[in-house]
Structure formats: structure tokens, C-alpha cells
Structure 1
Amino acid sequence: MPNRKRHLLKRLSLKSRLVLAAIVWLTAMVIAAGVTVPQQVFSYMIDSTNDQLSLYQDELSASLEVDDKGKISLSSPLSDPRFNQPYSGLYWSIDTEADELRSRSLWDQKITFEKLSKEPLGARKERLIFIQTSLYFPDYDGPIHILIGIDEQPIEDTVAKLMGQLWIILALLYVGVLFIIMIQIQWSLSPLTKMHKELSQMRSGEKECLDGDYPREVSPVVTDLNALLFHYQELLERARHHAGNLSHALKTPLSVLRNEIATADKETRLRLEPPVTQIQHQIDYHLGRARMAGSKNILAVKTNPAERIDAISMAFDKVYAFREVDLINEIDSELDVAVEDTDFDEMIGNLLENAYKWSNSIIRVHSHDSSDNGIEIIVEDDGPGIPDEKLEAVIQRGVRLDETTPGTGLGLNIVNEMAHSYRGKLTLERSTIGGLKATLLVKRSTTG
């Protein structure tokens, strides 16, 4: 399962990767802001409250008096009226060993402490933010304990209200920033979208190269790709001309040989005509392949396998009519593959010809989807098949398992090499219907 997740992540598009990274980063930042900002505000408000309580403490200490009997009193009331309002939430308390003095806001209650947390509780048992200190007067023997506290709940309510508003602001900010990021990503990747569109036009034959109007970061790739396409087309064209020149250069010597053979005796003619004919056939064959390879629109090739197999099977049905073989074509008529017509005919023709030669009665042709936009064209027969230990050997050039059957031993090797040139491959194995199963893997066509 982890490997599958890594595989899916690797297949993500650049846009998806950038959007995913932006979502992860933005979500982390918003959550961090939503958590830390209220904490910082709460901490700031607590510090500010403690500072205010310190002022009250100083004011209380300045007005505190103790007589010779140990009785404590205040020379003047504190400035904040909440100290005189019952249950206001702002309290003070002064204690000595002999006396106790409390703010009027405590009314008939005392500041108590929780058993577990040891936190002070107010007149209504509310939690308090507090400061306390001990004073010593020169004419009084013993400490004077002062405690000032204020209800913590209003601060918590304020922070909670702030959090609600903050999350709304952060949510709007999240959506807005993500929208801007997506627009930025779309705009930044637009040159790649343009390149993909132009490549599609090249596949369909509408263009021969990519335009040069690209950003500085992408322009070298476009230039190199255009140079590669031009170089590849030039090599194909040159190979075609060389093959044509070779064919024409050999045409005159072959004509001379044919004329000399025609004047020779019958035994000599029977001995020399087959190899000369075979030489001519090989020249025509490779010249034809070189001409096919010279196509300018190398990205626009497309073939319909169902149609080509029907056409080829009609010809083989006549050639091998004496064998009474039935071919079942199960290929979808809407399926197209990225192979040039004549190349596909060459590959599937070799596979079908082998099947017609060795099948007892049935040939089945069907397809199966493969990974990476591939398609498997499968040819099966009910003949004797090939031993497992020789399946790889028969693909090698010139290998023939039965010398009594006409052929050059090049068919399967040619199919394998041509499939490789189209980024595919040929595999052989035992068929479920008894004979040979040949699987030709090619790319599915992406042109419209």
C-alpha cells in the first residue's frame, strides 16, 4: 500500500503538486495562526491585568495603616469603584495574625483556595487572576499579607469571541490566498499547456515544429526539442535516400545476372534464380521500410488494428484456404494505436502468417489494456505451440525451429525490432487454447 501511494504521488501533474504543496503549507500556516494568536492575546491580556493589579497593590500598600494594637485600616479608599461594588469580580484581602480586612466587593465572603490547584476563588467561586505579597512595618511585629485578584472569566470570554472572529478572517484569508495561488500556478504553467497543445497539433500533422515564443526557462527545452525533431527527420530522410541509392545501384548488376541466368541451361537457372529473386525481394523490402520511415509527421501516426487485421486475414484466408483455419477478430473497431499503417501491417502480418501456418483450426485476436497508455494486441492459435525453453530463442535473428516450413527466420525478429522502435515489445508464451500466444505491446493513439 505505501508503494502504491508513492507511485500515485509520482504520477501527480506539476499543477497538482504545486496546488497540493500550497494547500499543505497554507493549512499549516492558518492552523498555526489560529492556535498561537489567541494564546498570545490571552498571555498579553494576563500580563496587562497583572500590571494593573500591581498598581492596585501599590495603592493599597500606600494607604495601609496599623495601630499599636495590631488593627489594620486604610487611610483612604481605593480609586477603582469596583472594589466597593458587591461581587464585582475585583477583590482585595489583607491578613495579619490578629486581624483581617477585605474589600466591600467580597461582601460576606472570603477569598478561598482550591484544594488541588491552590488557585484563589472569588466571592462567587470564580477563578481569579491574582498577585500577592507580604509587607513588614517597623512598628508592627509580623508580616502583613496582601492579595488582590480579578475574575478571569471576562478575559476568557473576550479571547473566545476573538477566536471566533479570527477563524472567520483566517478562513476568508485561506480561500482568497489559495485562489490567488491557483491563478498564479495556472499562469506560470501556461507555457507548458501551450507546449502540450502544440505537440498535439504536431501529432495531428497541423504543425512541424514548436513555436519559439516561450519564457526564458522553457525556451531552451523548446529549442532543443525542435533541433532533435529536425535532426531525427533529417536522419530518416537520409536513410531513405541511401536505401534508394543502394537499390538503384544494385538494379543494373541484378539485371545483368538475370539476363545471364536466362541464357544458361535449365539446371543452372534452377540453382541461381531463387537466390537472385531473394536478393531482389530483400532490396525491395528494406527500401520500402526506409521509405516508410521517412514520414515527416512522425508524431501523427495512427492505425486502426481491427481494420488492418480484417484486411490481412482476407488475404491469408485465400492463401491458406486449404488449411481451413478460422480467424476470430475481437479487436474493438474504435481502437487506434500509435503505429504507422505499413509498419503495423508488417508486424501483425508476420504474427498472423505464423498462426495460419501452425494453427489447427482457430486463430483468436484480441486486445488488453496495459499501463502507461499501452495496448496489447494478442494473437493466439491452437497449433502445437513452441516449447517454453525456446520461446526467447525464436525471436533472435534467423532462428527457425522447423527447416521444412518455408521462411527466412526473420519474421519474429523483425516484429520484435519494429515493436521496440515504437517503445513496445513482443512476448511469446503458451496459449490457453493450446498453441502459441504472441503479445504485441504498442502505444494507444492520442490523436483525435
Structure 2
Amino acid sequence: MLSLRRRAMIGGALSAMASILVGAFVLLSSIENNVLDRFDRALADRHSQLVVVLSGSSNDPSLLSERVYDPAYSTPYSGRYWQITGPDGTVYTSNSMFDSALREPVDSPSALTLRSIMGPEGEPIRSIYQKITLEDGSAWGVSVAESLTALTAERQQTRRSLLLAFVLVGLLGLAGAFLQTTTILHPLDKLRRDVAMRWEQDEDLTPSDYPEEVAPLVADINELLSRNRDIIARARRQAADLAHALKTPTAILRNELTLLAAQNHDMHASLDALDRVDAQLGRSLARMRAANSGAAVNIRTDLSNSVARFTRLFSSMAEREGKAMHTACAPELNIRMDQQDIEEVIGNLLDNALKWCETEISLTARKTTGGVEILIEDDGPGIPEGRERDALKSGGRLDSSKPGTGLGLAIAIDLLQAYGAVLNLEKSARFGGLAVRIVIPGKSRMAVLQKAAA
């Protein structure tokens, strides 16, 4: 569906073009009619002059050529002609006719008659004819004609001038339509920017800052923003309460199973099942939390602090196992993810890396043009080529020689997808093992993803 801006632009352009075309047609028709009327009046004036000369030369019509003072009548095919037919049918013509004659109306009307006919040499001409009766009672047919070449040229020049003028008017009309559309839609653009800013500042919009036609919409948006904040806060509290409510029973079950295992009972299958229950519960709670926090773009987390805490924790764990951890993080690296969510993602991935590595793991976080990139690498066996997709499946485990539920990656992916982030499995160029690359989009990219999701 076209945007309001495009609709307004197209509508304004079509309206302006239609008005211009109608105006151009009416104006051009009026100008051409006026030009033709002026041309015909000039013919009628020359016809009157010829009649006056004829009145004084009717006894000797051969003197007409000498008494009509117009050089054009003396030049052969000059474009101006006259012709007189006497009572006895004798035809007298201007020298410009040379050896040609004008075609007279069949009924020889006594009123002035204007016609467009073919003249000498097949030239289009405009002719005016009248049959007059002199005082002595003799009837004469008087014709005056002029070439239409000059009239046609004048019309073409007029059309070109009007075309240029209307092209200019059309461009001004389009510019006016664009300016008008921009002015009218400016409050909506301002509303869009303000809504995005209110997500950041967690404040309501001010209806009085907008035109009266937009103010009711602003009030509705304020209501939606308020409800959305309440829903997100309530859902996050419920997820947290549910997590706490489930931790105690599972902890009791785990303690009981551990006691039974200490008494030489085989509780391996039960403990493994409980681990999977804990993992599935953790994944479901993570999904609930992500679904309600991923849309809140005002969330910000200082990734530098989280990386520092993980460095201290996993460095100690790696040292106890005779392994090493390397960390590199850009200072003041802020991301648009909830702190608990991103730390759960990094914690799961580091735990996997430490579990499968031989001697070394690394955590790198840096800023890129598309947002923030987190890279976790190890020198373990990695993932066989072509099996990356299988490893990303929910509960997928390519090697069961080490303990685990196989849901760590699935939980990480669920959390990251809620924020429009991407997780890829690669081969580590540094250690040769597995490299997990996470790209968390920045503000502009996040806005695009949310718009597409909407």
C-alpha cells in the first residue's frame, strides 16, 4: 500500500497536471480563435478597400491593378491575392495570381463568405468572397485571399511559447504539491520521531504540540504506551516470580536424588531428566522474558561491565582446570539488550567453550558498523563441517561424551532473536576450534527490524 506521502504527492501531481492540461487547451483554443479572427478582419478590410477601388473603376476594370496600392499584389505568388468577376463573366486578378484563378463559391452569396481553400501552386489560403451590386445595377464577384503560411507559423510559435510556459507552471505545481505535502505530513513525521524518543525516555507525548486533527491520535498513543509499559513490567514480574517458584521444588528434588545417589542408588537417569526439566524451564522462562523485553528499545546494558564479571568468573574456573581465558572488550560498549538476557547468552556459550576446549578460550567484544559483535572461541574439536545447522536445533547434541542437555544454544538463540540479533557458528581462525559469532544490531538497524516485524 502506498504511503500517505506518496498518495498526496501523486494526487497533487495528477490534480495539477489535469488543471494545467485543461487550462492549456482552453487558453490555446482561445488564442488561436483570436488570431484567426484578427486574420479574417484584416482580409475583410482589404476586401472593403478593393470594393471601394472597384466602385471608381467599374467602367475600366483593367485599371484595378494600378489603383490597388499593395506591393504584395504585384509579386507573383506573394501570398496575397485578389480576384474580381465582372457581370459578363470576365475575370480580373492581381499580378500575384500570375496565371491562376481563385475558386469562387458556387452560389455566389451576397454576404461576406470566409473559406479556407487551395490557392496558386496548391498553397493553402484563406479567402473572403462577396457578390456586390454597384449603383449602376451591375453585379460583381469580389474575392480577396491570403496565404495561411504566416498564420500557421504564428500558431506554431504560440503553441511553443505556451508549451514552455505550461511546462514551467507544471514544475512549479509539482514543487508546490511537494511543499504542501511535506508541510501537511510534518506533524506525522514529528509524531513518529517523538514516539521513538519516548521509548527511550519513558515519557508521554504532549497532545498540544500537534495539530488538532492529530491530537486525538497522540492521546491514544499515550494510552497504548502506558499499557505496553504496564504489560511488559507485569510479564517480567510474573516470569521472575515463576522462576523463583520453580527453583525451590527442583532444588528439593535434586537434593533428594543426590542423597539417594550417595546411598549407592542409580539416580543417573533421574538426575539427567531433572537437568533437562531445569533446562526446558529455563528456556521457557527466557522466551517469556525475551518476548516482553525485546520490544523495549529503551533497554540498555553496559556490555563492558558484563564482560569484566565473566572474565573474573571463567578465568578462575579455567585456571582450576589448567586452562586459560583471553578477553578483549572495547570500553563503554553499550548494547540494546536486557542485562540478564545477554549475560545468560554469554554464560551459556562460555560454559560450552570451557567444557569442550583443550587449553584456551577467548571472549572478544567490539563495535562494528552494524552494531556490536561478540566472538567466543575455543581450541576444542569444533563442529564437523556441514553440521552447524544440526547443532543449532533445539536439544541438538553432536557428541554426548560430556554432560549437558543440548539446550544452551537454543536458549541463546531464542533470547537473541527477540532483539533482532544473529548467532553464527564458524571455525575459529585463531584457535582452530569453534567460533560463535553474535551480532547485536544498533539503534537504526533495530528500528528497521521492529518496523518489519510490525
Q: TM-score range by the shorter chain?
A: 0.5 to 0.7
SS in 1 for 2:145: strand
Q: What are the superposed Cα offsets for residues 138-193 of structure 1, whole Å, 9 maximum, x if unpaired?
A: 999998764235883898499669939984x9758955873575255334440441
* Letter in structure 2 aligned against 1:319: M
Q: Report the alpha carbon displacement of residue 344 of structure 1 after superposing the two structures with TM.
A: 1.2
Aligned pair 1:55/2:51, yes or no?
Answer: no
Match of 1:385 in 2: 382
* Ranges in structure 2 where 5+ consecutive residues have no aligned partner: 100-116, 447-454
Match of 1:394 in 2: 391
Within-5 A mapping of 1:33-112: 39-40=28-29, 43-56=32-45, 59=48, 62-63=51-52, 64=54, 71=62, 73=64, 84=69, 91-94=80-83, 100-102=92-94, 110=96
Give percent identity, aligned residues only: 17
**Which deviates the most, 143-152 or 39-48?**
143-152
SS in 2 for 1:392: helix
Within-5 A mapping of 1:295-334: 298-305=296-303, 308-321=306-319, 322=321, 324-325=323-324, 327=326, 329=328, 333=331
* Letter in structure 2 aligned against 1:202: W
TM-score (norm 1): 0.63
Q: What are the superposed Cα offsets for residues 260-319 of structure 1, whole Å, 9 maximum, x if unpaired?
A: 977x79435995996799699769968995789877993311234455445424432332
Within-5 A mapping of 1:224-243: 226-227=223-224, 230=227, 233-234=230-231, 237-238=234-235, 240-241=237-238
Whether the aligned pair in 2 keeps the contact of 1:240 and 1:287 (CA below 8 Å) is no
Q: Report the alpha carbon displacement of residue 239 of structure 1 after superposing the two structures with TM.
A: 6.0
Q: Which has the higher helix share?
A: 2
Whether the aligned pair in 2 keeps the contact of 1:379 and 1:439 (CA below 8 Å) is yes
Match of 2:423 in 1: 426
Distance 1:347 1:221 in 2: 38
Match of 2:244 in 1: 247
Distance 1:363 1:249 in 2: 33
Q: Report the alpha carbon displacement of residue 197 of structure 1 after superposing the two structures with TM.
A: 0.9
Whether the aligned pair in 2 keeps the contact of 1:243 and 1:286 (CA below 8 Å) is no
> Which residue of 169, 177, 182 corresponds with 2:179?
182
SS in 2 for 1:131: strand
Within-5 A mapping of 1:116-131: 130-131=125-126
Q: Report the alpha carbon displacement of residue 40 of structure 1 after superposing the two structures with TM.
A: 4.0
Distance 2:267 2:429 in 1: 44
* Letter in structure 1 aligned against 2:44: L
Match of 2:337 in 1: 339
Aligned pair 1:354/2:349, yes or no?
Answer: no
SS in 1 for 2:301: coil
Q: Report the alpha carbon displacement of residue 196 of structure 1 after superposing the two structures with TM.
A: 2.6
Distance 1:266 1:398 in 2: 29
Q: What are the superposed Cα offsets for residues 1-59 of structure 1, whole Å, 9 maximum, x if unpaired?
A: xxxxxxxxx9x9865x4686478558857985897688546523432234314523653
Aligned pair 1:416/2:402, yes or no?
Answer: no
Q: What are the superposed Cα offsets for residues 221-258 of structure 1, whole Å, 9 maximum, x if unpaired?
A: 97378447625743652563365267347637955985
Distance 2:156 2:272 in 1: 102
Whether the aligned pair in 2 keeps the contact of 1:38 and 1:159 (CA below 8 Å) is no
**Which deviates the most, 242-251 or 131-140?**
131-140
Match of 1:80 in 2: none
SS in 1 for 2:146: strand
Distance 1:424 1:41 in 2: 67
Change (3 A) 1:44 1:137: closer
Distance 1:186 1:397 in 2: 52
Match of 1:132 in 2: 127
SS in 1 for 2:96: coil
Distance 1:328 1:293 in 2: 30
Match of 1:267 in 2: 263
Aligned pair 1:152/2:150, yes or no?
Answer: yes
* Ranges in structure 1 where 5+ consecutive residues have no aligned partner: 1-9, 78-82, 103-108, 122-127
Whether the aligned pair in 1 keeps the contact of 2:207 and 2:218 (CA below 8 Å) is no
Q: How many residues align?
A: 407
Match of 2:112 in 1: none
Q: What are the superposed Cα offsets for residues 363-387 of structure 1, whole Å, 9 maximum, x if unpaired?
A: 47466868xx766645455543212
Q: What are the superposed Cα offsets for residues 115-155 of structure 1, whole Å, 9 maximum, x if unpaired?
A: xxx9989xxxxxx9941267789999998764235883898
Distance 1:419 1:297 in 2: 12
Distance 1:256 1:363 in 2: 36
Q: What are the superposed Cα offsets for residues 200-237 of structure 1, whole Å, 9 maximum, x if unpaired?
A: 122233x2x55667766784697378447625743652
